Amino acid sequence: MGFRKMLGAAAWAVLLSTSALAAPPPGYAGNPVFPGWYADPEAAIFGNQYWIYPTTSLAYSEQVGFDAFSSPDLVHWTKHADVLDIKAIPWAKKALWAPAMVEKDGKYYFFFAANDIQSDKELGGIGVAVADKPEGPFKDLLGKPLVGAFHNGAQPIDQFVFRDDDGTYYMIYGGWKHANIVKLKADFTGVEPMSDGTVFKEITPGPEYVEGPLMFKRNGHYYFMWSEGGWGGPNYSVAYAIGDSPMGPFKRIGTILKQDPKIATGAGHHSVFHVARDDSWYIVYHRHPLGDTKANDRVVAIDVMSFDKDGTIVPVKITNEGVKANPLR
């Protein structure tokens, strides 16, 4: 199915009017980086390939599977359809979104949210699936949610898995303006108490936090990032804090990703690529084409992320040309 047919004539016209699909300069990826309505991209590097695992951006009842995309250079992308299908998750009914990916001991673990539960009386929350290859097919690991209840007011969605230098895996998650961190068991079958006995520790950085947490470590410091605003609106954005441990404390520093009225709106729910070879950083995020006000009309983009000498993140310039090719081989 062609891009135009897949999006529909009206949406195609909107995208063309923004010039987002104009040919990028030679050697650049162009934004969006691949066709289709996708959101909440998870970025991972496995071997010599970049991978993006996004939410399929449709009505919740139609969000019943995930595709993935791989690239050797950030410019040329290959689609891997249906890497995780809802049929492989016996407890999930709808609203699959926000992947998080981990490779461990030769296995690939796919964390996801399902069912958009509104209370502890409903079945759903954060699950985990496993496969032998990054392109799947993935199968549910537990037969039930990994986290299936509200703790500290956090809706169990939008999980990100972070590996610390000592080999400990943490999961940071949470919607409804609350963020929690938990320590994962070594086999990802559950969570376990931290050194102070806490299991679900709240690390909400302030009242602006909404959802979409992410964490990485750079020069001994822990960077905690998240999304603010309404996911379907133009003011969706990304802010961050820096702490001395995964548990913080974290105090909001500022916004580093937001709309550009000349490029796109609703830029948020991101992930990052870090290429260790040349210490390059890229932010992978979704955004709305200019003039398109449908909440689910979201596309995936990549732009350069950089740091000041003091370690703070330089506000990202969102672009239509995207990033230059950076082969991993």
Cα–Cα distance measured from residue 54 to residue 41, given in angstroms and rounded to the nearest whole number:
4
Cα–Cα distance measured from residue 217 to residue 239, given in angstroms and rounded to the nearest whole number:
16
Q: Enter the tokens of residue 148.
A: 């299936």
Active-site pick, 135, 211, 292, 297: 211
CA angle 272, 277, 281 (to 5 degrees): 25
CB 49 within 8 A of CB 328: yes
CB 213 within 8 A of CB 233: no
Tell me which residue of 57, 77, 55 sits closest to 67, measured CA to CA: 55
Q: Is 211 a catalytic residue?
A: yes
Tell me which residue of 216, 223, 212 sits closest to 275, measured CA to CA: 216
88 phi and psi angles, rounded to 5 deg: -90, 5
Coil, strand or helix at 217? strand
Coil, strand or helix at 249? coil
Q: How far is CA 315 from CA 50, 255, 278, in A?
A: 23, 7, 21
Active-site pick, 40, 67, 158, 303: 40
Q: Is 73 a catalytic residue?
A: no
Catalytic residue numbers read 40, 211
